[in-house]
Structure 1
């Protein structure tokens, strides 16, 4: 929705006029181009052409980044945020305003800092309704206005603060700011602020029940608005005047002013413009993610080249040391050189580690932001299919569900490859039946096999023991990737999955796996490439899907098992992959593992569950899943709501979201434990489990489950924790 935008465009224009181009050498031309694009994007923004403004801002940001010009980068992000602000994409607007502030703080441009703090004050006061945070940003804005000795900007922010207080009914607190505005109107006001100042005086006098004076101010505001280009300010004058007229029971005039407000708003924000601008904004966000990834990869390449040069220097150093071993002066020089070189290596190592950490944090953030909406998409799709059986054959719903799961698979693949590279994957010991696991994979890929008219043939050596011990999840991931690849690149053919018992050494049984197809095959020249990340050889976009991560993950997972993969293939002759993995066979250990993981889900007892979740869609999905299992369920929006309801009611278990405003899930859990509440808490989050385990444990959280999740897994954890809590009591 529209809210306070006083002097946003004007302040942006001031930044343009105050900006002194300082680019040097080859970057000067790029900076000039970026500066011109920023101006063009601003013009389109002021004309409410948000689609074109976002597209041009995107190009401007790329040019500013290439020129490494922090001022231009900040201004580009500022305009992007302003567009999202007008499109009611509140969280995105705040994100890009803060990005702009990061780069602004790297410059001496206090004018743009003033502008950004003012905009953030608008967002938090009028959009997020977090009044205290908004006032904090406004006061920071005033501080920068005083620093640059520009009382006109201080005047503008006082207008915003007065409006913010009046908007929440705090007329006494807002009056001093309105008084400052009224006393300085002749010095600093223009057409736009004349509208707002008159409107605010009308609102205050309405509060004081001085109706005649209030009416006069409202009429002055509307009269000024009709001669001004700031149509949105005129619309708000009509809106506030309609509220006043309703109060004094002039209903016809109130209705007319409200109609004028709606008419102006519709003219300013045509739905087709918003739709196109949203598409442009999505492309801009993708550029932002790509820019971060490219930055990380370039830094890694740079560090690798630096380390490679360092090795050459070390070799030369050794040779010179041998030749000049008996010369004291050369020995002293070599010692000094070595010390300097070690410092360079240490610095390079620190930079490389910092780049790796940045990459991990970036991937974690992106995965969380994608998993959260995917949880809602998958959950609501499943609800529609379950509650409306007539939609089970709907091609649209099936496509939606497939697309969501495909995107989730992509996120998981990227996280998996990152974990392996960071050495964070540890193999687990689980008991499993090899036949059951392969049949499950076959069934899950039945849709893909039918799509290409393929047949899956399975052979399991009968001498393989019924139960083995090892990491069945990683094995299933390896087989799933290989079999799905075989099905994708084979049409009207067969895919063979064969497992033989190769040998036995003590309790270890070495299994030889073969996945073979008669599909298109892989050329010899390409066979060394396919295990690299993001590579698909012989791919046609209309035929195959995928990221090219599958075989890279397979190779790395097999490395964890201490195994390697062998490839045999030729064009038109099909492809076969083979590898060997040892698994333990120990009947006594198997019985113990099975006993530890068995959970009774047959209980008829009704449990009471509290859901703490700020996302309304995720609330709906989780509540439906819980109540479907005949549990009683209550939902609160945040941590404060959870603490309040726990003072009045008792629950068997709490499902706690982690990433919440005001107070996150960790802090909420700590406060619950400080109140001596023993109720089990399960973190229901989109964060990766390995990232939050330590903090979750220290906060008093009992277990973690990642969204989206299988309902059976959730209910196993719930049943186990509730039963454990009863036994402990």
Structure 2
């Protein structure tokens, strides 16, 4: 079934926003420079591993090579100190990195290792984070049921943990999935729980993400006044957080809401600010929505030529994103098929070995029984022969 522009828009936006929740989930307001200064004077102990993993997460997007370097150091030191917790967090970071590379099954495998370590050492925070990332990857594989199961399991473990840092991001992810399924009351309930925690922490980045999701629901429900109100709240929070991507999405939400109410002047103003902000970025999903917004705006203004040009740009970009994503999914399923095929082959080999071993044991048993019978017959014959000779000696010659 072919996707329309609107469906693609929702899918790409949802995937971005779920990945965006990693940041507040791991280390809030961490000062990378101070962490690096602390690292210089840090002895090779478990605290140094914590510094290295925190830095690895901080640089996961802005400098992937630096992130890999910090993670490698953390792994090497964890190996040296036999520090399982450090190894578990390295597995988690590997899964996050693989998720950003769209290597879904590999990411899931890495997080499964992190979860296994977390369960062994009783680190429920690590276990919860692992399930959260697994949920995101299954969502990207378009398996909503397994994604929901993973998120629910993550929530169950985080409720056992003393560290609640990931909880608002996890609640946000569950809300997004309900929103994707058009179960808006359930989605709003989870968003409200998430919002309260972010508000208590003064986490403007998390609040902005939360408000955008709520605004998108109001937009879908055609409650445009509420969408505009929450859009301005999100934009204010994004500017306070200095989070450019959330700011752009808040502007798109406002542009779309004003467009729906036929306030074309304000719609154009917000789309133009979003377009200016997105120009020097590689935020292709946001560019697509801006192009689509301008296309609808131009048509409402009666400028059909401009509308056609923007619609064409949106369609070309959408097809490019969709085909790239579809290619990644095909490669992922091929990789998964090869893995499953190898597992099946190994299973058949193990079953064949069991059959051979069973036959070998049966043959040995038959040989043992035959040998026992022959040995018994030989002993019996020897006894008879000895008995006959003894009788003859006793009787003597006649």
TMscore range, shorter length: 0.5 to 0.7
Query: Pick from 206, 213, 220: which aligns with 2:273?
Result: 220
* 2:22 pairs with 1:12: yes
Number of residue pairs the alignment of both structures matches = 296
2: CA distance between counterparts of 1:572 and 1:98?
A: 53
Using the alignment, how far apart are the partners of 1:93 and 1:283 within structure 2?
A: 23
State the alpha-carbon separation in 2 of the partners of residues 7 and 107 from structure 1: 25
RCO higher in structure (CA 8 A, sep ≥6):
2
User: Once superposed, which parts of structure 1, at least 4 consecutive aligned residues long, lie more than 6 Å away?
Assistant: 279-285, 534-537
1:265 to 318, 321, 330: 321
What do residues 338-376 of structure 1 show as CA deviations (whole Å, max 9, x unaligned)? Answer: xxxxxxxxxxxxxxxxxxxxxxxxxxxxxxxxxxxxxxx
What residue ranges of structure 1 are gaps of 5+ in the alignment?
A: 286-402, 404-533, 545-568, 574-729
Q: Which residue matches 1:252? A: 308
Among 40, 53, 59, which residue is 2:107 paired with? 53
Preserved contact between residue 224 and residue 261 of structure 2 (Cα < 8 Å): no
Q: Which residue of 2 aligns with 1:168?
A: 221
* Cα distance in structure 2, aligned partners of 1:281 and 1:176: 45
Matches within 5 A, 1:492-511: none
Q: Which residue of 1 aligns with 2:146?
A: 92
| Residue pair 1:198, 1:220 contacting (<8 A) in 2 also | yes
Q: What is residue 103 of structure 1 aligned with on the other side?
A: 157
Question: Does the 8 Å contact 1:121/1:138 carry over to 2?
Answer: yes
Q: Name the CA distance, whole Å, in 1 between partners of 2:353 and 2:104.
A: 40
Pairs within 5 Å for 1:201-350: 201-249=254-302, 250=304, 251-266=307-322, 268-269=324-325, 271-278=326-333
1:143 maps to 2:196: yes
**Which structure has more helix as a fraction of its residues?**
2
Deviation at 1:189, TM superposition (A): 4.2
Q: CA deviation at 1:35?
A: 0.7
Give the aligned partner of residue 39 of structure 2: none
Structure with the largest fraction of strand: 1
TM-score, normalized by length of structure 1? 0.37
CA distance in 2 between partners of 1:216 and 1:60 (Å): 47
Deviation per CA, 1:306-331, whole angstroms, max 9, x where unpaired? xxxxxxxxxxxxxxxxxxxxxxxxxx
How big is the shift at 1:177? 1.2
Deviations 1:639-668 (CA, angstroms, capped at 9, x unpaired): xxxxxxxxxxxxxxxxxxxxxxxxxxxxxx
Structure 1 counterpart of 2:208, from 155, 160, 179: 155
Alignment CA distance shift 1:3-1:185 (3 Å): closer
Relative distance call for 1:152 and 1:34 in structure 2 (3 A) is same
3-state SS, counterpart of residue 129 of structure 1: coil
Cα gap change, 1:283/1:92 in structure 2, threshold over 3 Å: closer, same or farther?
Answer: farther
Query: 1: CA distance between counterparts of 2:339 and 2:247?
Result: 36
2:204–2:237: 8 Å Cα contact kept in structure 1? no
Secondary structure at the aligned position of 2:355 is classed as coil
- Cα deviation 1:566-621 (Å, max 9, x = unaligned): xxx76698xxxxxxxxxxxxxxxxxxxxxxxxxxxxxxxxxxxxxxxxxxxxxxxx
Q: Does 1:69 align with 2:79?
A: no
Does structure 2 retain, via aligned residues, the 8 Å contact 1:80–1:93? yes
State the secondary structure of the residue aligned to 1:74.
Answer: helix
Tell me the secondary structure at the aligned position of residue 107 of structure 1. Answer: coil
- 8 Å Cα contact 1:199-1:221 kept in structure 2: yes
- Is the Cα–Cα contact under 8 Å of residues 201 and 217 in structure 1 kept in the other structure? yes
Aligned to 2:61: none
Q: 2 CA distance for matches of 1:280 and 1:73?
A: 26
CA spacing shift, 1:537–1:28, aligned 2, 3 Å: closer
Map residues 608-623 of structure 1 onto 2, 5 A cutoff.
Answer: none
Q: Which runs of 5+ in 2 are unaligned?
A: 1-10, 31-46, 51-77, 345-349, 367-398
1:282: how far off? Answer: 8.8
1:195–1:233 CA contact under 8 A, matched in 2: yes
SS of alignment partner, residue 111 of structure 1:
coil
| Partner Cα separation in structure 2 for residue 274 and residue 157 of structure 1 | 28
* In 2: Cα distance, 1:219 partner to 1:260 partner: 20
Residue 173 of structure 1 deviates from its aligned partner by: 2.9
